[in-house]
């Protein structure tokens, strides 16, 4: 396979720290404003009993409010090495009424809603690297392929700023290129 074919479409990436309780609203606003369809989480909520990232999504059957955005967990699929969560992200007006005039709504009064997928890699050990590469390669391939061409960037985050470990854009792009071979 030619490199040109591999690189003809790779979604752009936006890297960030894992949201804190105080930044959850800003995180979801960024997801909305950047037209993000895929969020990649490569940290646990806790490591060695210490919090690393706040859960920025609601439990099943409930909603999280982030200013004018409402986040609803639609589905949670727990797989061997990662969890795939499906959210409805809905924009509401200042008074709680549904927003109108969006690209996804054709008439006034309809809700402006998007689907966002969170790929949460759960097989990374607290220390070191995964023992086997295949689960990670599969995770990167699946999360990259889930992003439609017309969507905004894939948001990739690891820990909170308390112990933020920089995600190398070049390294993630390299891994994505290798997984498409």
Residue 134 included in any domain: yes
**Cα distances (angstroms) measured from residue 138 to each of 23, 87, 119, 143:** 30, 22, 11, 8
Residue 136 included in any domain: yes
Contact 74, 87 (CB under 8 A): yes
127-172 pLDDT, tens digit per residue, is 777 888 899 889 988 998 998 888 999 998 887 544 444 444 445 5
CA angle 155, 163, 30 (to 5 degrees): 25
pTM recorded for the entire structure: 0.79
Residue 180 included in any domain: no
Residue 75 included in any domain: yes
19-42 pLDDT, tens digit per residue, is 888 999 999 999 999 999 999 998
For residue 125, what pLDDT is reported? 81
- Using DSSP bridges, classify how beta strands 38-41 and 154-157 pair: parallel, antiparallel or unpaired: parallel
For residue 171, the SS3 value is: helix
Alpha helices in the chain (DSSP H): 3-7, 24-33, 134-145, 169-179
Which position has the token pair 């982030």?
66
Choosing from 8, 68, 147, 158, the catalytic residue is 158
Catalytic status, residue 68:
no
For residue 7, what pLDDT is reported? 42
Residue 181 included in any domain: no
Residue 92 pLDDT greater than 60, yes or no: yes
Residue 176 included in any domain: no
Backbone φ, ψ for residue 77 (5° rounding): -110, 110
Strand partners, 92: 98
Residue 65 included in any domain: yes
Strand partners, 72: 63, 88
User: Tell me, what CATH number does 48's domain have?
Assistant: 3.90.190.10
Of 107 and 71, the structure prediction assigns the larger pLDDT to 71
Residue 7 included in any domain: no
Over residues 48-70, the mean pLDDT reads 88
Residue 13 pLDDT greater than 70, yes or no: yes
Name the domain count of the chain: 1
Which position has the token pair 């690209």?
103
Domain containing 43: what range?
14-164
């Amino acid at each position: 396979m030619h490199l040109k074919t591999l690189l003809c479409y790779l979604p752009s990436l936006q890297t960030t720290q894992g949201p804190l309780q105080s930044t959850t609203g800003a995180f979801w606003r960024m997801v909305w404003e950047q037209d993000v369809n895929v969020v990649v989480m490569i940290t646990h909520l806790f490591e060695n009993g210490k919090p690393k990232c706040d859960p920025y999504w609601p439990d099943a059957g409930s909603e999280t409010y982030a200013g004018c955005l409402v986040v609803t967990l639609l589905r949670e699929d727990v797989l061997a090495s990662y969890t795939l969560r499906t959210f409805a992200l809905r924009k509401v007006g200042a008074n709680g009424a549904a927003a109108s005039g969006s690209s996804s709504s054709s008439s006034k009064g309809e809700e402006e809603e998007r689907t966002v997928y969170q790929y949460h890699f759960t097989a990374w050990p607290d220390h070191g690297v995964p023992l086997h590469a295949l689960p990670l390669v599969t995770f990167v391939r699946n999360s990259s392929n889930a992003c439609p061409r017309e969507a905004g960037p894939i948001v990739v985050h690891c820990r909170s700023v308390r112990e933020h470990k920089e995600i190398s854009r070049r390294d993630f792009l390299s891994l994505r290129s290798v997984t498409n071979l």
